[in-house]
Amino acid sequence: MNVLKYFFENIGDYKIKPFGSGLIHRTFFLEHEEGEFIVQKMNAYIFKNPKVVMQNIQTVAHYLQQKNYPKAVLEIRPTLSGDLFFQKNKNEFWRIFKYISDTHVYSKAETERQVYETGKSFGEFLFFLKDLPTEKIKSAIPDFHNTQLRWEQMKKTIKSNAFGRAERAATEIEKIKNWYFLIQKFEQLDFPKRVIHADAKMSNLLFDKNKKVVAVIDWDTIMVGNVLYDFGDLVRTMTCELDEESTDFENVKISMPYFAMLTKGFLEATDSWLSEVEKNNLLLGAKMIIYEQAIRFLTDFLDGDKYYSTTYVNQNLNRTKNQIALLEDIFEKQKQISK
């Protein structure tokens, strides 16, 4: 792999192989005489400004180390010229991180304890970043959680109906339109701006052999935003025993024990410093993120499946139905949840 010469003075003998199941970047595991590393070809379509991404990661890593954050932080291997990544050509960017050894990734919780640990670990991550000046973090993906903009994009896609799919999604379009009040309610509230992870899910944690969390990973989306986005992402990805690919829509439901453990863990790390408006609207944050994801899946379906990869016809429509089913169940159970 000829990009290695830009990161190592002596390439020497090495072994490299594809690594992980991530869909965003091309990832490799490197065994080198200087240690073990993760090598990535960055997705330039999604992350159009890798300099911002890498600077954010470096800023957060240094800040967490200064604050004596108890978990491992991402360690960038700079190029020989001192850059945080290597640009091979206009749209090809490579980066290297030190590998965090003896760890495992879980895509799905096996126990309530793991749900609790996940909530607590992301809450702790937010706690250690709560005093990081927001002006030090730049936007890697502008408007990533701008739900109003997502709504406007969906409406344009429905109107143009370029792929003739709107009729197939008529029921889903109607349901999503009826929930627009969520956006209105959310925008009426005055939330603090904080540094957040913006992709909070179990597969972005590293666990050791004792199933303890060693690190929060995948910092590419770190942004200034609303803490409830992270809590909402956790609810969306952690509290339903079926994932977003399931077409068993009748059984796409929130697990009350999982929700309770997730909230318990998250609040143990955040309750002492979250504002009242944040604490009082955790459930609204969950609804908003699920709603936003339903809008995104539906928009992509109507727009010819350009963003989310699909393996069969109507997959993005089914993903939309899945998120709608989860949101409907939360509405149905909200009195129980709020107790």
78 and 131 both lie in a single domain: no
- Please tell me whether residue 132 adopts helix, strand or coil conformation: coil
- Tokens 């192989």 label which residue? 17
The pLDDT tens digits of the residues spanning 115-147 come to 999 999 999 999 999 999 999 999 998 899 999
Give the pLDDT confidence score for residue 23 in this predicted structure.
67
Calculate the alpha carbon distances from 98 to 6, 29, 38, 199, 300 in Å.
16, 10, 6, 21, 35
Region label for 75, one of left (φ > 0), alpha (ψ between -120 and 50) or beta (otherwise): beta
Q: Let me know if residue 17 belongs to a domain.
A: yes
Q: Let me know if residue 268 belongs to a domain.
A: yes
How many angstroms separate the CA atoms of 212 and 325, rounded? 32
129 and 182 both lie in a single domain: yes
Give the pLDDT confidence score for residue 291 in this predicted structure.
98
- Please tell me whether residue 225 adopts helix, strand or coil conformation: strand
Least confident of 63-67, 145-149, 199-203, 307-311: 307-311
Residue 102 C-beta-side C-alpha neighbours within 13 Å? 7
The number of folded domains in the chain is 2
Q: Let me know if residue 104 belongs to a domain.
A: no
DSSP tag of 203 = G
Q: Let me know if residue 107 belongs to a domain.
A: no
Of the residues 46, 75, 98, which one is the last residue of a structural domain?
A: 98
The pLDDT tens digits of the residues spanning 31-83 come to 999 999 999 999 888 888 999 999 999 999 999 999 999 999 999 999 999 99
CATH number at residue 121: 3.90.1200.10
253 and 164 both lie in a single domain: yes
124 and 272 both lie in a single domain: yes
How many angstroms separate the CA atoms of 255 and 249, rounded? 14
Q: In what order do the strands lie in the sheet with 86-89?
A: 15-18, 26-32, 35-41, 92-98, 86-89
CB atoms within 10 A of CB 194: 24
Of the residues 63, 98, 133, which one is the last residue of a structural domain?
A: 98
pLDDT > 70: percent of the chain: 99
DSSP of 167-190: TTTHHHHHHHHHTTHHHHHHHHS-
- Tokens 């091309």 label which residue? 26
Of the residues 43, 69, 98, which one is the last residue of a structural domain?
A: 98
How many angstroms separate the CA atoms of 147 and 206, rounded? 30
78 and 145 both lie in a single domain: no
Confidence of residue 20 (pLDDT cuts 50, 70, 90): confident
132 and 251 both lie in a single domain: yes
Nearest to 11 by CA among 26, 38, 30, 27: 30
> What angle (nearest 5°) sits at the alpha carbon of residue 230, between those of residues 300 and 327?
55
Max CA separation in the chain (angstroms) = 62
76 and 125 both lie in a single domain: no
DSSP of 72-117: B---B---TTS-SSEEEETTEEEEEEE---S-B--SS-SSHHHHHH
Give the pLDDT confidence score for residue 90 in this predicted structure.
84
Please give the residue range of the domain that contains residue 197: 112-338
Residue 338 in this model has a pLDDT that exceeds 90: no
How many angstroms separate the CA atoms of 73 and 29, rounded? 18
Residue pair 9/80 in contact by the 8 Å Cβ criterion: yes
Nearest to 318 by CA among 243, 213, 217, 260: 243
Give the pLDDT confidence score for residue 24 in this predicted structure.
79
143 and 43 both lie in a single domain: no
Confidence of residue 91 (pLDDT cuts 50, 70, 90): confident
How many angstroms separate the CA atoms of 303 and 154, rounded? 9
Q: Let me know if residue 53 belongs to a domain.
A: yes
44 and 160 both lie in a single domain: no
119 and 92 both lie in a single domain: no
Report the length, in residues, of the chain. 339
70 and 123 both lie in a single domain: no
How many angstroms separate the CA atoms of 266 and 235, rounded? 11
277 and 319 both lie in a single domain: yes
**CA 75 to chain CA centroid, nearest Å:** 20
Task: List beta partners, residue 87.
Answer: 93
Nearest to 267 by CA among 256, 252, 278, 257: 278
Confidence of residue 149 (pLDDT cuts 50, 70, 90): very high
Per the confidence metrics, is the pTM higher than 0.75? Answer: yes
Give the pLDDT confidence score for residue 123 in this predicted structure.
98
Confidence of residue 9 (pLDDT cuts 50, 70, 90): very high
Q: Let me know if residue 103 belongs to a domain.
A: no
**Mean pLDDT (whole number) for 143-159:** 96
Query: Between 315-338 and 170-178, two packed helices, what is the crossing angle to 10 degrees?
Result: 30
Q: Let me know if residue 232 belongs to a domain.
A: yes
CATH number at residue 8: 3.30.200.20
The token duo for 13 is: 């003998």
The pLDDT tens digits of the residues spanning 246-289 come to 999 999 999 999 999 999 999 999 999 999 999 999 999 999 99
CB atoms within 10 A of CB 336: 10
Residue pair 316/327 in contact by the 8 Å Cβ criterion: no
Give the pLDDT confidence score for residue 275 in this predicted structure.
98
